[in-house]
Amino acid sequence: MKLEEAQEILKELGLPPAQYNEMAALTFLAICNIKENDKWAKATRQSLGVTKGIMTFVNENYGKSYAPNTRETFRRQVLHQFVQARVVDYNPDDPTLPVNSPRAHYALTSEVLEVVKTYKTRKWKSALKNFIDTVGKLSEVYLKERELNQIPVTLQSGKTIKLSTGKHNEVQAAIVEKFAPRFANGGTLLYLGDTAKKDLFVDEKGLKDLGIPIDQHSKLPDVVIYDNKRKWLFLIEAVTSHGPVSPKRLLELEDFLKKCKVGKVYVTAFPDMSEFKKHSNNIAWETEVWLMEVPDHMIHFNGDRFMGPR
């Protein structure tokens, strides 16, 4: 019961979902010194360390035993965000403590203590509103940061879509903006995945018209571009850690695209030469390699012809 109530309080305080999971809720109960049968009005401000304070409280009062090596999980995935959201103060008893001091401790902020004490009373909504108006919601801050850090990609139509941050998506953006104009005649984008959202952009009609199954997006490579002038379909894997067009992957794609009758050009795109070298022995013959750092050049994995469909 108290666990669910703690989760509701954290959610209402504006914490993101990852910060009102079970571990976060149990941490909050420990910080508030609330046991299963206590009323929230009895919450107190006390300084607790992670292992001997929070983890011990959780084990003794809620029967949840965490391994000693989960101390860093509490600190990095719960308490750090609690500090950001002004739910707790870090080292309030001795702010001069160095980072990662064994004496590091946390205590409920005075502002949140006053809000918590009103939970399930008539004053709850107004106290909550006052806190959020003053401090703001961490979930909204995180959302704004994600939006600011997203990678914009300008399509041929002039439309802009945004990819989540990360090296893999940087390569995908470069494929659309740098590879396509140079090697695919500025062809039409039919599919663009995203590490956070697999099907970010899908032209289902365009795929269907070429005989490509539209109900199995997961089998497509990261980027699919169609050059209507030459009737070439570019199937491109962006690689930053794994997943080049290997012999195995090539056979899978050939089988998947057996009803697609246009010429197929298989490309593995890397951010740089260093990443390419890690995978060079696993790239299929009769496929192409493109490096984001040298966008004007291609590496052709075949000795008797230049780039073209299989």
pLDDT at 139 over 50: no
pLDDT at 253 over 50: yes
Q: How far apart are CA 80 and CA 92, in angstroms?
A: 14
Q: Tens digit of pLDDT for each residue in 222-247? A: 999 999 999 999 999 999 867 899 99
pLDDT at 184 over 60: yes
What band does 58 get if pLDDT is binned at 50, 70 and 90?
very high
pLDDT at 102 over 80: yes
Token pair 């040298």 in the structure block, residue: 294
The region of weakest confidence among 2-11, 137-146, 222-231 is 137-146
Token pair 């090539």 in the structure block, residue: 250
What band does 141 get if pLDDT is binned at 50, 70 and 90?
low
pLDDT at 310 over 70: no
What band does 217 get if pLDDT is binned at 50, 70 and 90?
low
pTM given for the model: 0.53
The pLDDT mean for the chain works out to: 86
Within 19-154, residue ranges assigned H as helices are 22-32, 56-62, 71-74, 80-84, 110-116, 124-135, 138-149
How many residues can be counted in the chain?
310
Q: Which H or E run includes 234?
A: strand 232-238
More confident residue, 256 or 20: 256
Query: What percentage of the chain has pLDDT greater than the value 70?
Result: 88
* Burial of residue 27, with CB atoms counted within 10 A of its CB: 0-12 exposed, 13-18 middle, 19 or more buried: buried
More confident residue, 147 or 69: 69
Token pair 């719960």 in the structure block, residue: 78
Q: Tens digit of pLDDT for each residue in 191-212? A: 988 765 566 788 889 999 999 9
pLDDT, position 226: 94
If you write DSSP's letter for every residue of 190-205 in order, what string do you get? EEE--SSSS-SEE-HH
Q: How far apart are CA 191 and CA 181, in angstroms?
A: 16
